[in-house]
A and B are shown apart, each in its own frame.
Chain A
């Protein structure tokens, strides 16, 4: 297969690689360079300012707030989402009642129904989900507060997104709502490939459901959980949190910057405040956080690989 091989390789790679280099790689390289300049983004002139932007960033209270919120997202969101998803997936696939003479493991009744319904949010745009919940959280005419009124809780009418102490949790709740279903389905597929005789053996040894989960299901599913952890963490630091915070909270960024996240702060500095260079500096910090997050999860999660 040597004939014309290199011409073919170049011919096939040139366009995709060129496009990718121009629109993805080159901007990444540029933005690291720009973070050492005073470029505004509005005019083509700029000069090198060394580490000024980085010094400014360390003194910027809003930056620290956004960093704190982003870290909270990256740590808490996977914990809650993956925890819920594991519970639901286990119940759906393995949690069925053990009937005499029936199969060793069985899902609950209606398991395929649950899997279909839980997956709904995954196919919707996060922007649409955020809009929908912004209406639901509206303190006066929103669905949530009026439901509270309807059940007689007239005294409990939180401002939700308007309350600096609550807004962040509302936003996080929406992200959980929209991501759990995907992982339920993902973990279900993983659980379905765990051989039934392992469960049989556990049952013979008298293991309950909890120990079956922690001794069999979770260890055998660990690889999937781990890659899910990285995946959702990257989403929580990037595009998803940008959409929900930008769309749902006032400002955007919430009352008193209570919901601002790094990715939103980059966007605002670059495209609202005309401080492109400073925006790329925060962006570099976001890059460092993202890579560190992925590295820590991969390192902490490293286990001996189980073959089955």
Chain B
């Protein structure tokens, strides 16, 4: 049975991807019989290039992808190099890690509520410091240069890159490298940068590529924080895809091909950047400078991490506050009155999307955990990990822009009359949930001391009994944490739910994004609060269940 697990995982990940890409490329060249396109043509591309501001949208998507990744990586690298092995490192690590679970849209709304002209930061400093009695007329959110969008993406990508780096740290002799370089007279930060970071970077490279792909093709955060005239390419594409005029879909698919090219260009540009930065760093290293006086830089790098965590946490707090606020005038830092009115008013409309969100997330997570466990157990039996190629495959759905294959997948599902079905929706969620579950589970699974299994086998326990009675209970916490990660990923999915659900399966996330940053702050507060509450409940359960189950087993109860 287990023999079929790796092929099944391959099937689940690669088939939707391949079919989706094909289903995007054919209509882009005019072929889509269901909509009357029976002949290949380049008309969709001609239409696309006739759109006003198209190049600006495309170049902006490319730049946002690159700049977001560069800033996020610089923050994580700076922080790890400057603080690894200190108490502050552990503190900030614990502060930043939970942010991974916060859905992008909720973080983006919270961020907007912080930095907007009438947002919380302005209120905190008004009128005593700024003199503002009314919100200043500044375009901070949705600024034409996309700075708010970049910042909103950075605060979410930093926790991701940090966690991937933390997972890679044990595979690198980091502490010994640091001690060695320090005893040779190097400052802490550059000592680590020269000796340990290059090996670390090689380990997290695929994750960095995933950030580029995600940031250059993001829809939901760009819709909330991004520029509006014109919008970035991915946001415009979704608009065309959902246009009531069905013939627009040909052009949307041509646009999706352009998006793939944009993301590919961003990745190519990054490769060039890698080739330049590496030798430059090497030549600096060869000068032998020790960079002993790094106090200020270290403070800045730590401060940036803390600020980014503070902005997300603060934003989430402000969201929650808005959801229960009555009248709340500028520049008061606190509402004049608190009330449950918004919750009562939106309550009836919430239950449907809430149930849909939970059902899809539970099903997709359950399937993903089962497949990941089966693959890892197969690997355990055969002793083959599949190596880097398998890892690249797991990362594949994270490296292709979602739009690139979701458009095609939607069109194929419509053609097969299978769109807007529970099964299709759950399976498309699995495509995005499975990689995260697998990445989260594989490290603890492989780190497991196999001598426990040797002992159990020598005591006569058959393979099944060893799995269910020994390995699984001992790794229960890791499995539940991986499930919580998967659950959070599913809850946060916007585009797959919107496209494959064909708008008929509203979830908390699709409803929240649809409100946009200009909507009623109280209602946004309710939706975004629920959006962050669901993953939080998942992680709380992942901690509490083993703690209760193993309350009398000190070595593994966790709490």
The answer to whether A and B belong to the same complex is: no
Interface of B toward A, CB cutoff 8 Å: none
